[in-house]
Each structure stands twice: as structure tokens, then as C-alpha cells.
Structure 1
């Protein structure tokens, strides 16, 4: 069953605008079943707690296959986005034997090989979108959330390995989603907990923060992820996720990006306290965000229903334009029509052994210590 643009279908009429992070369980909860059935979202986001960590490979793989089958059943559509944050380092979700590559900073020279390996492993787990690579320039040594997740400290150090990584991963059937637009690398605080301010002048912003993203706005890049940051020199006081100047005027207008814009998790503390305000949802939609990401790790995903109410009211009152909704719908439906749908299949032990020899690895955190999911996005 395909998406149908019909603003009279109740919650599902805007449900396609969302990516939903499941409850922290390897089994689909009653809460998730109700939400997926009601909203029929574009897709889901999986975290570490959605895998049966600590179990043998064949056991957790069977559990994972059942989870994805249940997701499709309750959404009622075969064409869905199965997404994950899988960058390397601490931003890895699946358990062993999936290769635990180190942070991106440690393998810029092997970025293509790592991208291919990640693509193969994620494809065989049924994923078709990975929220990577990180295009942030880690210009602030005190940055508490980017740091080694970035390929380097200059635009030049970021672009080449990020391109190699993205192209290789996408060649294996997993779409990348470069992040965090317009550039999270100079932040002094973690947007998971508070709202960062990137206090640079407009010229520096364009030469440093925007420079890597400018190289990825061609047709090869189908998605970009936003950052919950404020850049006063560009749009004072407005987080990028809610900024029409940053998403529409700069990303779409100045940089020419025609693909799908995905928000970082709206439950993150940088903006979560604003979500109950109707104008926040309206601003996010009007800014140009297509897919709104809301994950159970940080928020009560039932809040999505309230946000859909705000969208419906905004459309009724003229604060949201139907023409903009139709353009966004076309971008989302086009992505869903094109993105491959992969079966869950077992990989040979030898494949994982070859991948583990490609680049530096990071010691795994014991399952009991990582049950929450390490929600870095």
C-alpha cells in the first residue's frame, strides 16, 4: 500500500511526516503497535535496546527479524524506512558479531572500506538508512558531543573521507544521511541536554561550517539531518531545526538541496521543552523539515499525536500552506518509492572477520552497561 496525500484521513494524514523511535525493547510494545497503526509513519529508528543484546547471533538475529516484520505489519505498508545511527565508536547499536569500528576520526584513510563494510552489515540487518556520515568540522576541542565522531578539524579533512564513506555505503544499498546541518562542530554544549549556540560570524560560518555540506547537495545525497543549534549571525534565537532561513533559504536555496530533510531527535533537551507549544510544530514544518524524528529514548512518542493536531490546526488557519505540504509529501513518497527494502539475512563469520581487519576497532561496552542505548545522534 502506497502513501496517499489526503488531508482528511485523520492522524495518518500527517503520520507519514514522522520517524518513530521504538520503545526500549527488542519486542514491539503495545504502545508502539497502537502508534504505528494510527500514524502509518514513514519509518522507525532503532536503538541498542531494540536488539536482544547478550544473546547468540542467531538468536538475536531471529528476534530482530521478527521485530521488523511486526513493524511492517502494524504500519500496513511494505515501503518503510528502517533507520539507525551507526557511525562508529560509541554510536553503534547492534550487538556482536557486527563490527565495532572505532570513531570516524581514527579511520579517514579507510573510510571507503568502512562504509562498504557498514553497508553490507546494515543491509543484511534490514536497514536502508544510516544517519551518517558526520559532516561536522570539529573546530572546538571542548565540544562534548562531536569530538572524535568528526573526520577532522577542517573542512578539507572532512570532505574526502565522508564522500568515500557515503558512496561506498550507498553502493551496498544503504542510504546515508549526512549530519548535523548546518554544522555542530563548534558547539560548547551537548544538544542532547541543552541548546548550543554557534557564536561565529557569517563569513566563518559559510567557510567552515557550511563548506562540507556544500559538497554533498548533489543527487547522490537523498537525506540531510538537521542540528538543534542556534547560529546568531544567521538566524538569532531560532534553532536550525525550526529556522526557515537555515533550512529553506540556505540548504534548499543557496546550496540547492532537493532531497529530504530529517530533524535530529525532537525529544532531545535542546528543544523538547518547546514541543507542546503549537507554534513550535508549525515552525518546524514551515522551516522546511520533511521527516520529524521522535524517539522513545528521550521523549514520550505519544506527543506525536499532539503535534499532528498542531499541524492540522496550522493548515486550517493558514499558518501552514497546503502547497508546501504537497511538495514535502512528494519528497517523502519519492524516497519511499526508491529506497530498497532488504530482508534480514545471516552473514558468514568470515565476513565479519574480514571487516574487523579493515580499520581500528573500539572495545564493546558490556550489554548490561549499555541497556539505555547511548542515544548520540
Structure 2
């Protein structure tokens, strides 16, 4: 059997819903040696006090490090505000981004400090989508506003502040998930926005993020027939390689949204799709256990190694991606989990409005 760790850095894995490392996750991490992990709500002891859940969480990270055989790995999470908040109290659950646009810098600092204290070094935020469709079931107030100007100003302010505290930001969901009427967690949305309108609306925040030097962009599971009638953005060379990398000159890391989501059901069950996925211009394939068996990644990795045997694929597709990942890993913060005093958490709760609803089990 091939050494799957040869391509492991191209994968980011969501753990099974356990607070200690599941035996299958241990096997997967030890075999694939992925770039790192994605944390979800059920990886924390949700109903336990801080003094109880934090040591259990530290133990989970130690188990991950032991399985990977290294302590320099990505610890990532979705922490936007509103329903998209995974850890329990006392971690601050701010309201949706729409409700603290005027406090984006202060929230970015607070979020960065809190996540860094948990050893997290990558946050899948900010959302740079524009809330342009009132029928959108998944974006709405997660967006910073209804205009490109509002999204750029608050979104990039938040990102800079958070990164200043040692947590890498990830702009999402390229090429724009705001003008959809479907939720990609459950089905594949179709964006009928024409090219000219996209240029003056959906694409503006992402171009601003590129100009600002943002290190990572997440793509979305959406179809844009006006650009590519055959493939969703997750597999589209026209959208990622030609537009994002070619037209806009983006040379940072491009990661997929969770490829286990229902929108991708008809695309990722065949592991041979791995070669097409990376050929489209992506660097990292994300797969999380909520939607799919993460062992699927092992088959995808096997097919990627097969593709790598072609000199043209290895040199033209994977070599540039490996260079981008090497740069990313060189600058990746290494945050050590640290138990923080009550006053640390109390101060952050005064920064911006808090969310009063239920936390989401998923949503990315």
C-alpha cells in the first residue's frame, strides 16, 4: 500500500463527535498525517464547567498530536458569531456579524485571543459573502452587510485584528454564496447572477481580501452556469484556476468547504475525483465526519498518489500547491492551550452584543 502521508498535507479532517480521540480517527490521522483537524461542537464537553471541559479538550489535542507524530498542525474551527460557535462557556458567543460591524476590530481581537488560548490557529471566518438574496436560507446575518463596501470594511477589519492575535483568517465562501436560495449543506445551490453583476458585487470583497494578502480562501459548493455549466466551484478549473488564481492572481491557499456535505453527494463518492479536485486549483480538501465517513479521505489520497505518478500532474499541479502549503506552514502560529482567568472572559463579553439563541451543531 502506498504511503498516504506523502499527500497528507492536502487534507484537513473533521473529527468524529467525541471528546476523546475515536479509534477510527486515530487510525486515519496516523495513516494519512493530514495538515490538521477541524473542531465541532461535540468535540467539547458542552455541559461541563470550564475547569472540566478545558482539560478534556487539552487531552484531545494531545491525542491528536500523538497520532500525527508531530505537534505542529492546524487546529481549525468555525467561529463567526451567531449560531456558528462551537465551544461552550465561557468562550464568548457574539451575535451574528451583521450586529457588530461597528465593533469588528474589537471582536476580532477578542476572538483571536480566546481561540489562541485554546491552541486554535485557524478560524474559518470572516464570511465575505454579501447578503443580497432575502430568500437565502444559510447566509443572511452571517454576512457583514448587503453591500460590498460594508462587507469589505468590517470583514477585513475583523480578519486583521484576529490575525494580530495569532489566529489565521479564512475568507469564505468564494465565489459568493450570498445570492442563493438553497443551503449547500443539503443541496447544490445554483447562482444565476451574471458575470457583470458578480464583478461589481459578489467578487469585490474577495478581490479586496486578495489585495490585503489574506492567506486562505474557502470555496463554496455552488453552481454558476454563466461561468461553468458543468461543475460546481469545488471542482471548477474555470472558477478557481482561471478566475481566482489566473484573473485575480491569488497565490495563497485555497481550501474547499466540507466535501462531505450533501451538495457534493454525487461528486465525491468516487475517490478518483481527487485528481480533478486538485487540478481545479485547490490546495486542501476538507472532509468532516458530520456528513461523511472520513475514511473516504484514504481512498482520495490513494488516487491522488496515483495521479502524482504522472510527471505533468506532479510538476504542473501538485508542485505549485506544495509550495503554497509550505509557505502557509512556515508562518502558521503555534498556539499553546492555556487556562485563562475569569476576568479574561468577562472583559470580552462587554465588547459587542451577544447571541441569545441556540448554537448550531453544524454550519460552515
TM-score w.r.t. structure 1 length? Answer: 0.93
Structure 1: 5+ residue stretches without partners: 1-7
Are the aligned partners of 1:311 and 1:320 in contact in 2 as well (CA < 8 Å)? no
2:129 corresponds to which residue?
136
How many Å separate the matches in 1 of 2:145 and 2:189? 20
What is the correspondence of 1:3-42 to structure 2 with a 5 Å cutoff? Answer: 10-42=3-35
Q: Work out the number of aligned pairs and report it.
A: 364
Are the aligned partners of 2:191 and 2:222 in contact in 1 as well (CA < 8 Å)? yes
2:40 corresponds to which residue?
47
2:266 corresponds to which residue?
273
How many Å separate the matches in 2 of 1:113 and 1:351? 14
1:91-140, CA deviations, whole angstroms, 9 ceiling, x for partnerless residues?
00000000010110111001111111000000000000000000001100
After superposition, the Cα gap between the structure-2 partners of 1:364 and 1:70, relative to the gap in structure 1 and judged at 3 Å, is farther
Are the aligned partners of 2:308 and 2:318 in contact in 1 as well (CA < 8 Å)? no
Structure 2: 5+ residue stretches without partners: none
Mean alpha-carbon deviation: is it higher for 73-82 or for 322-331?
Answer: 322-331
Are the aligned partners of 1:196 and 1:228 in contact in 2 as well (CA < 8 Å)? yes
After superposition, the Cα gap between the structure-2 partners of 1:241 and 1:12, relative to the gap in structure 1 and judged at 3 Å, is same
1:133-187, CA deviations, whole angstroms, 9 ceiling, x for partnerless residues?
0000110001001011000111111000001100000000000001000100001
Q: SS in structure 1 opposite 2:59? A: helix
Q: SS in structure 2 opposite 1:87? A: strand
What is the correspondence of 1:139-218 to structure 2 with a 5 Å cutoff? Answer: 139-218=132-211
1:261 corresponds to which residue?
254
Are the aligned partners of 1:79 and 1:337 in contact in 2 as well (CA < 8 Å)? no
Deviation for aligned residue 1:225: 0.5
Are the aligned partners of 1:100 and 1:364 in contact in 2 as well (CA < 8 Å)? no
Are the aligned partners of 1:88 and 1:104 in contact in 2 as well (CA < 8 Å)? yes
Q: Does 1:341 align with 2:334?
A: yes
Q: Does 1:320 align with 2:313?
A: yes
TM-score w.r.t. structure 2 length? Answer: 0.97
Mean alpha-carbon deviation: is it higher for 287-296 or for 247-256?
Answer: 247-256
1:62 corresponds to which residue?
55
Q: Aligned Cα RMSD in Å?
A: 1.5
How many Å separate the matches in 1 of 2:145 and 2:362? 22
What is the correspondence of 1:342-361 to structure 2 with a 5 Å cutoff? Answer: 342-361=335-354
Mean alpha-carbon deviation: is it higher for 70-79 or for 115-124?
Answer: 70-79
Deviation for aligned residue 1:280: 2.5
How many Å separate the matches in 2 of 1:73 and 1:332? 22
Deviation for aligned residue 1:312: 2.4
